[in-house]
């Protein structure tokens, strides 16, 4: 079991089994996902609360990143992928045929495992999405850059280097830049797919502190293979195994008094 003292002082987690409509950011109902004939996710039903951090944990290949990608329909890009069920973002089913997927992905930002800045300046990385939306006014873009870089805890480090190539930043700085790029277009939900797996311990700590700050404005969903990280930064944790949701509750309960033996075995290292 893990020491959860690091989470003391966080806002109390909500009861994910009894969220009101106003408390719910994402509702997943009877979700099944297939790659060709292979079933990768099986009957996932859960609600993800607004303004808190929800972590997906589980062994490699269990489906946690696949589930994350269902929330902004990134799996649409995989040939032969088929989804059944519903994923509702603030009450609206994102798999409805009339949903505009590019608009959805602006509402649900995503950050991947490895930092992936564009081969552009720091400034142009941050405003990339805004320019795609047609924003051209310099004052607006300047304000967005400062706001986003401050929110990503990067402004003080790069404010005098905004027009330098983003590849000149360290790995940890690049990942924070990618987060700034994601939040510049002001999404409602932020998806983080193992955002610190390629970073050193100091950069990892910086990102974890940033995640805690981000939930004041965004609903954050985090995939992590690091259980200590889930314990440190998340309000709620879902344990996924072989494409199934085994257990989902507030993080304290998952790590100190799991209901299912499979969850306890995984957390205590007896899995497999």
What does the pLDDT look like over 89-125, one tens digit per residue? 999 999 999 999 999 999 999 999 999 999 999 999 9
Do 203 and 192 contact (CB within 8 A), yes or no?
A: no
Q: What are the pLDDT digits (tens) for 207-241? A: 999 999 999 999 999 999 999 999 999 999 999 99
Do 250 and 6 contact (CB within 8 A), yes or no?
A: no
Closest by CA to 30, choosing from 81, 87, 82, 99, is: 87
Closest by CA to 64, choosing from 192, 200, 188, is: 192
Say whether pTM exceeds 0.75.
Answer: yes
Do 189 and 71 contact (CB within 8 A), yes or no?
A: yes
Residue 56 Cα to chain centre, angstroms = 9
H or E segment and range at residue 239: strand 236-241
1 by DSSP, 3-state: which? coil
In the sheet that holds 38-49, the strands lie side by side as 38-49, 24-35, 81-89, 92-93
Q: Which residues of the chain have pLDDT under 70?
A: 1-12, 271-272
175 token code pair? 């990942």
Cβ neighbors of 106 (< 8 A, separation 6 or more) are 129, 133, 185, 187
CB atoms within 10 A of CB 269: 8
Radius of gyration (C-alpha) of the chain in whole angstroms = 18
264 token code pair? 């306890």
pLDDT of residue 14: 80
How many Cα atoms are found within 13 Å in the side-chain-facing hemisphere of 247? 19
pLDDT of residue 213: 93
16 DSSP assignment: T
| CA 220/CA 116 separation, integer angstroms | 19
Alpha helices in 36-137 (DSSP H): 64-70, 101-107, 122-132
Question: In this structure, is the dihedral angle defined by the CA atoms of residues 259, 260, 266 and 268, taken in order, positive or negative?
Answer: positive
pLDDT of residue 13: 75
234 token code pair? 């998340």
pLDDT of residue 223: 97
Do 27 and 47 contact (CB within 8 A), yes or no?
A: yes
Cβ neighbors of 156 (< 8 A, separation 6 or more) are none
| CA 155/CA 184 separation, integer angstroms | 13
pLDDT of residue 17: 83
2 token code pair? 């893990």
Q: Are strands 189-193 and 108-111 parallel, antiparallel or unpaired?
A: parallel
């Amino acid at each position: 079991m893990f020491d959860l003292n690091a989470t003391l002082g966080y806002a109390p987690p909500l009861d994910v089994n009894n969220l009101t409509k106003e408390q719910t950011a994402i509702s997943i109902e009877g979700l099944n996902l297939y790659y060709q004939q292979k079933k990768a996710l099986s009957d996932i039903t859960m609600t993800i609360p607004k303004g808190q951090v929800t972590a997906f944990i589980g062994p490699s290949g269990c489906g946690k990143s696949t589930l994350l990608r269902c929330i902004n329909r990134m799996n649409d890009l995989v040939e032969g992928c088929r989804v059944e069920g519903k994923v509702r973002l603030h009450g609206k089913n994102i798999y409805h045929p009339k949903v505009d997927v590019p608009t959805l992905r602006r509402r649900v930002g995503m950050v991947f495992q490895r930092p992936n800045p564009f081969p552009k300046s720091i400034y142009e990385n941050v405003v990339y999405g805004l320019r795609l939306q047609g924003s051209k006014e310099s004052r607006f873009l300047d304000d967005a850059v400062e706001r986003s870089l401050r929110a990503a805890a990067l402004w003080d480090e790069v404010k005098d280097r905004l027009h330098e190539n983003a590849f000149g930043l360290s790995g940890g700085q690049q990942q924070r830049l990618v987060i700034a790029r994601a939040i510049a277009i002001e999404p409602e939900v932020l998806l983080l797919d193992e955002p610190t797996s390629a970073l050193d311990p100091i950069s990892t700590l910086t990102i974890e502190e940033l995640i805690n700050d981000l939930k004041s404005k965004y609903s954050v969903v985090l995939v992590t293979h690091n259980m200590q990280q889930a314990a440190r930064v998340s309000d709620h944790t879902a344990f996924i195994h072989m494409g199934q949701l085994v257990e989902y509750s507030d993080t304290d309960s998952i790590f100190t008094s799991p209901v299912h033996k499979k969850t306890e075995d995984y957390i205590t290292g007896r899995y497999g």
